[in-house]
Structure 1
Amino acid sequence: MKIKNYILVCIIILLSFNSFSQQGKQKKADTLFNKFSFVKAAEVYKDLIQNNYNKEYATRQLADCYAFLRDPKNASRYYKSVVNQENVPVEYYYKYAQSLRGIKKYDESQIWLERYKDSGGVVNANDFSKDINFITSVFGAKQQYFLDRVHFNSKFSDFGAIEYDGKVYFTSARDEGVGIKRLYGWNEQPFLDVYVTDAKSKSNVDHTGKIKGDINSMYHDGPVAITKDGKTMYFSRNNFNKDIETKDRKGLTNMKIYRATLVDGLWTNIEDLSINGDEFSTQHPALNIDDTELYFTSDRPGTKGGSDIWKIEILPDGNLGSLKNLGDVINTANAEGFPFINNESVLFFSSDGHTGLGLLDIFGTIKGDDDEFVDVINLGVPVNSNKDDFSFTMNSNGITGYFASNRTGGRGSDDIYAYHRELVLHVEGVVTDAINVKPIPNAKITLFDDNNQQIAYMLTDEKGYYQINIDRNKDYKIVASQEKYIDDYRNFSSKNLQTELKTITANLILNPVHDVVKLAELNTIYFDYDKHNIREDAALELDKIINLMTNDYPEMVIRIESHTDSRGKLSYNDKLSIDRANSTYDYLISHGIAPERITEHEGFGERRLTNGCEDESDCEEKDHQLNRRTQFIVVKME
């Protein structure tokens, strides 16, 4: 019994020791996790899982580690196990859906997103679930961006490239150190520094390519933004200034944006900005086109998601003015960052909360007439992928630029990609009436290729305007048609055009079709002998003309010509015909026809007889009646 008891006690002690050991490992893993040392934390969590200690919790934490490390393949592997746990928090359904997006399993991702919603999870209004055809539409869209080779990537993280005055400034973790290696716990890579190289250089950049001056510190530095005059730089850095590191209440060192000036070729005079704080991060600086606004990323109080994009006014004296969150169109319940404003004042940014292809995607923005943001546009492939795509910038030419991605096929964890754009080309114009030179709304515009095959059509707007996107290096014919007009067409070509050209103009002019049936309604009216009053039968004909001019041809312009028969003196008949013209004119005007639509109302007396009933001729009354008339001549019509 004593031996058995001894063995039992030993087993209990060993189990207790092992339990304490595993408990210590979990505490270690959680500490590493909370310090954002995800690489090291993941290794300890895997060890806990292998030893079956608090396995469900360790699996959740391990999956989160891979999600933070932007490794959707491994994240989805462990989330798949997590979502089958009993009483698992519903947010893991969403995390699993996101990781599946990252490995292009879009249909399966949609299933888990729906399950998240059905379980009470709140899906951001901008989530990709709003458009089940999004993936198809993005991959089917016409390619506008084309990738070019970059020579200065390293095996570590490289991003944040901007081009200024023939040089490229970028952020990199490539400095491994000579004696002492300092590694960032999150991803076990060296800390970030700012580098510069010639834009046309085809050689790589080593540690000697670091920017000169006081920008780079012993912690993270970059990315940067440079003012148009090249004298001021805004840059991200850990909360470290004048050799002092400041941590928040959780023991973390947040990011700040600092300002430096160029003095004798060195970036110096480092200035801590008023937008910074010790308890939140402020980073990713970007400037608008006239350097009067600073855009940035922050998780400060008032942030809607993990991080939002904000802006603040830069006053003439360098001080900062009013602060503004860019709002719900831009910011979501997830993370937004890396803003950039091009020369046309278009904001670009990265987000994992808007409709995307994977993790972080790059988006452009659309503004309305009041200069407020109204929508965002996914830039599509090849700029975006199923991984993280971020730090998009565009050079002043509007054609070339850079972005970063951790997609498969790169050299390091994050790589810089150069691109050039083939701008969307479109044909546009205005369709006008040949008579009155007014725009024609709802005219049908049909576009044909060089084989006379119809490839597009649309209707003009209320201003007669149309616009159709076309391909470059093609021949086209465009035709305008409308029910009351004769068709017009133009042949044009998009061959051999400058890359910067975005618009071909093809205005079209339509001539009215003279509707014989309708114009037949402009009947001649007749008068009694020696009278100029409007008879009842004449009034009926005039009413038809009024209806025609009001409803069918609202732009029609006419001329009135009145006549007499040959009986009576010539001078008397001249006056009588004028009276008849005046009576006709007054009737039309009194019934709503605008005076400017009747160019003339003249009397010609007996000078234009329609038959041979001249003086002394033997004509019956019915023949004389044919000469006592008023006729209507169309001058202009729709």
Structure 2
Amino acid sequence: MTFMLRRGFVAVMMVFVFAFAKAQTTTTTNKTSPKAEREFKKYAFIDSREIYEKMANKGFKSVEIFSKLGDTYYFNNDYQNALKWYNQLFKLDNESIPSEYYFRYAQALKSDRQYAKADQLLKSFAVKGDLDGRLKSLENSPNYLTIVDFQKGRFDVEPVSINSNYQDFGTAYYGPSQVVFASARDTGVFYKRRHSWNEKPFLDLYIADRDQQGNMSNLEKFDSRINSIFHESTPTFSQDLNTIYFTRNNYEDGELGADNDRVTRLQIFKSEKTEGKWSKPEAVTFSEGGYSTSHPALTPDGKTLYFSSNMPGTMGSENTFKETDIWRVNIEDDGSYTDLENVSIVNTEGRESYPYISRSGNLYFASNGLQGLGGLDIFVSTINKDGSLSNPVNIGEPANSVDDDFAFIVDESVNTGYFSSNRVSQGDNDDIYRFVQTEDLRPTCEQIVTGTVTNSITDEPLEDALVSVVDINNNVVVTRRSDSNGKYAVKLECDKTFFIRAEKQEYNTAEELVNTPTVTGVIDVDLALDPKSYKGEVGDDLADLLNLNPIYFDFDMSFIREDAELELQKVLSVLEDNPTMTIDIRSHTDSRGTASYNERLSDRRAASTRNYLISKGIDESRLTSKGYGESQLVNECSDGVKCSEEQHQNNRRSEFIIISM
């Protein structure tokens, strides 16, 4: 019998159902080891890892071997070693790689700060037909690293002194001066109870004193009626401290319960204190053996319970590996539960877990499906009075890192709190960190404006451009410098009017009017700057350098139209700024009409263009012109070929080729 509960990934335990195909070398084909398959299905990842690694070291290569090896590290949150094997997996260039591995590989790449490659892997979901919430999250926030960096520095962080050499995580406030948390520190004298998932001791709840700075002391085990011989973690308490909800294996009457797959899942248990004694814990009615429910979190008024689960209706429930969502349920006065609801605005097909609700009404939770730095990141969403939630925001470094960060709680009366992370051990053990919040939480409504500053001619990003936000009274509200990728981010008030202005030496200033919406969100405002002078080389086409719109002539005519004159003014400006430049004006037609007629018409149009520039003061010795008719088509639309008007238009073009500088 197998059971599942763990640390940073204690987020959720789920079922693997994998089809094992053949493992191959360049000369040999062998089936995957039956023993490795059995151990993997039992979630005994440490044992299966040894078997798969022996096969890999002997030169066997297959999707099954490399994916399972990567998984044995990935699901123990050792992303660096997972990256090693996922790299090998994708070197196979095998179309049979399940789409979910694109996401796991992307997460492992983020742990190594290979964000560009990770984003490209995530976009490959769409190529495989898996356009899910994780990709939509990336598409909605393509500048997510800039947004995350914008939040940087809101917390002073350090590990607490009571961390052990084992797993310590998942703190909960117990009154004004104590905390309760889960730990795998093993106090057994005669034996150690260990979990085959990762060969680590089981978890119990511990209680400790805390001071206003978050320092913890006087550690001891929590009540024996709550702790069992298996896993307990992530408690939450009512304000009067007489009710506890916590996570435990599906365990009753001294035995582990199991589903039809012989998997013991997680359940939320409840106990009440009467005359100083906790009652026998009982599973809540919405927590059943066929799926996991875990990590309960009470709202301050005690009327709503948030939790994580992979119950039916979870966004990732159709995946081979079932992920968890944040759910909530109302608690009635008689203790019954009503209006079970998936909190869809914060959920993706990835893993959302570890909810916590602060006194001011902020939902903190961990996610690897929303865009972050890597692994589980901590996000915050405001709970409005009507129960709706704002779009989640990554709380940034140093609370978040490239590793797993989760189980965030905060005492807003003193701006201190705790979260858990495996950032030091990189998957081996979790530790508890205390923090001081040096900056207030985000206001109820705000807009993050992001964008990219580029060269309007080349589309290249411009670094160190000055981006200013100006209000309607022409007051500068905030300034930022674009980074090496031309990106910037600023935070603005909702329901206001601003001008976003970008400027850089040797470029003309650009400005966009922005009316911020009335609800929290993210706006993209890109700014393209025109160079004050245009550089080019002999052989370049000014039409390309200047990104000219087509130079249109009326049918069968060669005089300069008003719209064409606007484009020619750009060419004129370059010639004036570069007095030694000479150019050859070349005019082309489509294939309709006779070749001789088209050549004469294009020659008249090229000459008309040349004469226009001469009339504006350009010396005629700097300009030559020639019409090429239909002799240099850029596509297959020759005589007799049926083409669209747009295809013909591509052939009706003007070129301004630099002859000398």
Work out whether the TM-score is over 0.5: yes
The answer to whether the aligner puts 1:96 opposite 2:105 as a matched pair is yes
Structure 1 regions of 5+ residues with no counterpart?
A: 1-21, 428-440, 450-455, 467-638
Change (3 A) 1:315 1:199: same
Measure how far apart 1:410 and its partner are: 8.2
The answer to whether the aligner puts 1:246 opposite 2:257 as a matched pair is yes
**Cα RMSD (Å) of the superposition?**
3.2
Residue equivalent to 2:95:
87
Question: Quick one: which amino acid aligns to residue 66 of structure 2?
Answer: T
> Distance in 2 between the 1:457 and 1:387 partners?
27
Residue equivalent to 1:232:
243
1:219 to 230, 247, 262: 230
Residue equivalent to 2:129:
120
Question: Quick one: which amino acid aligns to residue 380 of structure 1?
Answer: G
> Distance in 2 between the 1:426 and 1:364 partners?
9
CA contact (8 A) 1:62 1:78 kept: yes
- Post-superposition Cα deviations, 1:390-434, rounded to whole Å, max 9, x if no partner, equal 11111251611111011126896111111111124999xxxxxxx
CA contact (8 A) 2:77 2:428 kept: no
CA contact (8 A) 1:292 1:315 kept: yes
1:36 to 39, 43, 48: 43
Residue equivalent to 2:535:
none
Measure how far apart 1:164 and its partner are: 2.3
CA contact (8 A) 1:213 1:266 kept: no
> Distance in 1 between the 2:493 and 2:113 partners?
39
Change (3 A) 1:258 1:119: closer
Name the SS for the 2:121 alignment partner. helix
Measure how far apart 1:369 and its partner are: 7.4
The answer to whether the aligner puts 1:388 opposite 2:392 as a matched pair is no
CA contact (8 A) 1:82 1:88 kept: no
TM-score, with length taken from structure 1? 0.61
- Number of paired residues? 423
CA contact (8 A) 2:209 2:217 kept: no
Residue equivalent to 1:356:
372
Question: Quick one: which amino acid aligns to residue 341 of structure 2?
Answer: K
Measure how far apart 1:176 and its partner are: 5.6
Name the SS for the 1:259 alignment partner. strand
TM-score, with length taken from structure 2? 0.59
Alignment map for 1:179-198 (pairs within 5 Å): 179-198=190-209
The answer to whether the aligner puts 1:163 opposite 2:179 as a matched pair is no
> Distance in 2 between the 1:442 and 1:197 partners?
54
Measure how far apart 1:142 and its partner are: 4.8
The answer to whether the aligner puts 1:59 opposite 2:66 as a matched pair is yes
CA contact (8 A) 1:446 1:457 kept: no
Name the SS for the 1:318 alignment partner. coil
Change (3 A) 1:249 1:398: farther
2:339 to 297, 305, 322: 322
> Distance in 2 between the 1:134 and 1:182 partners?
42
Alignment map for 1:276-355 (pairs within 5 Å): 276-305=287-316, 306-327=323-344, 329-355=345-371
Query: After alignment, is 355-364 or 112-121 more displaced?
Result: 112-121
CA contact (8 A) 2:420 2:430 kept: yes
Alignment map for 1:338-487 (pairs within 5 Å): 338-367=354-383, 370-397=386-413, 399-408=415-424, 413-424=429-440, 442-446=472-476
CA contact (8 A) 2:420 2:433 kept: yes
Point out which structure has higher relative CO (alpha carbons under 8 A, 6+ apart).
2
Residue equivalent to 1:513:
none
CA contact (8 A) 1:212 1:265 kept: no
- Post-superposition Cα deviations, 1:250-308, rounded to whole Å, max 9, x if no partner, equal 11101111111224544333222101101111110100110011111111111112111
CA contact (8 A) 1:155 1:411 kept: no
CA contact (8 A) 2:258 2:265 kept: yes
Change (3 A) 1:447 1:108: closer
> Distance in 2 between the 1:407 and 1:162 partners?
21
Structure 2 regions of 5+ residues with no counterpart?
A: 1-29, 317-322, 444-470, 480-489, 499-661
> Distance in 1 between the 2:39 and 2:304 partners?
38
Name the SS for the 1:373 alignment partner. coil
Measure how far apart 1:70 and its partner are: 1.0
Question: Quick one: which amino acid aligns to residue 307 of structure 1?
Answer: T
Change (3 A) 1:194 1:89: same
Change (3 A) 1:371 1:84: same
> Distance in 1 between the 2:299 and 2:105 partners?
37
CA contact (8 A) 1:388 1:407 kept: yes
Change (3 A) 1:369 1:393: closer
Change (3 A) 1:341 1:126: farther
> Distance in 2 between the 1:227 and 1:457 partners?
36
What is the percent sequence identity of the aligned residues?
32
The answer to whether the aligner puts 1:46 opposite 2:57 as a matched pair is no
Measure how far apart 1:96 and its partner are: 1.5
> Distance in 2 between the 1:458 and 1:173 partners?
45
Measure how far apart 1:461 and its partner are: 6.2
Change (3 A) 1:444 1:164: farther
CA contact (8 A) 2:152 2:396 kept: no
Change (3 A) 1:389 1:457: closer
CA contact (8 A) 2:256 2:264 kept: yes
Measure how far apart 1:448 and its partner are: 9.9
Name the SS for the 1:127 alignment partner. helix
1:137 to 122, 147, 152: 147
Name the SS for the 1:372 alignment partner. coil
- Post-superposition Cα deviations, 1:502-533, rounded to whole Å, max 9, x if no partner, equal xxxxxxxxxxxxxxxxxxxxxxxxxxxxxxxx
CA contact (8 A) 2:152 2:398 kept: no
